[in-house]
């Protein structure tokens, strides 16, 4: 069964970590409404949603994608690139151990799930402000016995690799070419974002559906011209916390 782990919005979200965005006021009530609508959309697309309770002292904890990678064979628990976020992993590991054997990357490395683009047996991993070479090396060593290939991809100008590129069809990527080199993915067809919408490259595949933020009409038109249909959701308050549609859930087959 397709399963999505989510976590309720922390009341401390106004104190979230920000790297590439200026701090703006976040409406907590509206953020929670948007998050519930996102969870409902996951259900509508066929996922069983497992909501974890809010972590009142961890502002970024609703971004459950970052502390773990879930594959068919195991889940890898990650040391996040921001020290204040590292406590998020413990309760997420407790939830995941019901479904997968756990492996752990140790703290000399840093790695965040937002930097991991998983396509078949390859994991493209962003070298970013949150993920370092040691974290990628450890991940490759953990996954080698399971025949996964790990490919490091430099990222500039944005928080994570999936801020710059996401999979929108089996053979097609949505790309911000200023933040990641499209030549790193030579085997894929590429749709480029509307240049007036720099944060528009993040999408989430759920079963046969594709979730997309409602605030990027120019890029949505490009997707339509490429034959890619999306279901939109308003995540404007969550985006103020440097969030995106991929980072608010961990999706896997249970």
Active site residue ranges? 160, 247
- Which residue's entry shows tokens 């068919």? 72
From CA 125, how far away is CA 147, in angstroms rounded?
16
Within the chain, strands assigned E span: 2-7, 48-52, 68-70, 75-77, 102-104, 116-119, 122-127, 149-154, 165-169, 172-175, 189-192, 204-206, 209-213, 231-233, 250-253
Return all residues near 98 (Cβ < 8 A) that are at least 6 apart. Answer: none
152 beta partners = 125
Rounded to the nearest angstrom, the gap between the alpha carbon of residue 102 and the centroid of all alpha carbons in its chain is 19
Q: Phi/psi zone of residue 221: left (φ > 0), alpha (ψ -120 to 50 degrees), beta?
A: alpha
Q: What is residue 109's DSSP assignment?
A: S
**Integer Rg of the chain from CA:** 17
Confirm if 203 and 178 have CB atoms less than 8 A apart: no
Rounded to the nearest angstrom, the gap between the alpha carbon of residue 78 and the centroid of all alpha carbons in its chain is 13
């Amino acid at each position: 069964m397709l399963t999505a782990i989510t976590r309720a919005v922390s009341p401390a979200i106004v104190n979230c970590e920000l790297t590439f965005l200026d701090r703006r006021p976040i409406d907590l009530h509206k953020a929670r409404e948007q998050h519930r609508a996102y969870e409902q959309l996951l259900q509508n697309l066929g996922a069983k949603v497992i909501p974890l309770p809010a972590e009142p002292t961890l502002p970024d904890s609703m971004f459950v994608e970052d502390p773990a990678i879930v594959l068919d064979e195991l889940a890898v628990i990650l040391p996040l690139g921001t020290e204040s976020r590292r406590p998020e992993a413990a309760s997420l590991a407790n939830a995941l151990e019901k479904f997968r054997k756990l492996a752990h990357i140790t703290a000399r490395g840093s790695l965040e799930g937002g930097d991991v683009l998983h396509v078949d047996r390859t994991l493209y991993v962003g070298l970013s402000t949150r993920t370092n070479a040691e974290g990628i090396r450890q991940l490759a060593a953990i996954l080698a016995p399971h025949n996964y290939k790990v490919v490091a991809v430099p990222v500039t100008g944005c928080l994570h690799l999936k801020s710059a590129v996401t999979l929108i069809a089996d053979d097609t990527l949505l790309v911000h070419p200023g933040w990641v080199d499209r030549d790193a993915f030579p085997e894929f067809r590429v749709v480029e974002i509307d240049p007036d919408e720099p944060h528009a490259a993040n999408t989430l595949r759920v079963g046969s559906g594709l979730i997309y933020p409602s605030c990027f009409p120019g890029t949505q038109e490009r997707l339509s011209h490429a034959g890619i249909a999306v279901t939109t959701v308003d995540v404007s308050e969550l985006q103020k916390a440097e969030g995106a549609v991929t980072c608010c859930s961990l999706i896997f087959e249970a």
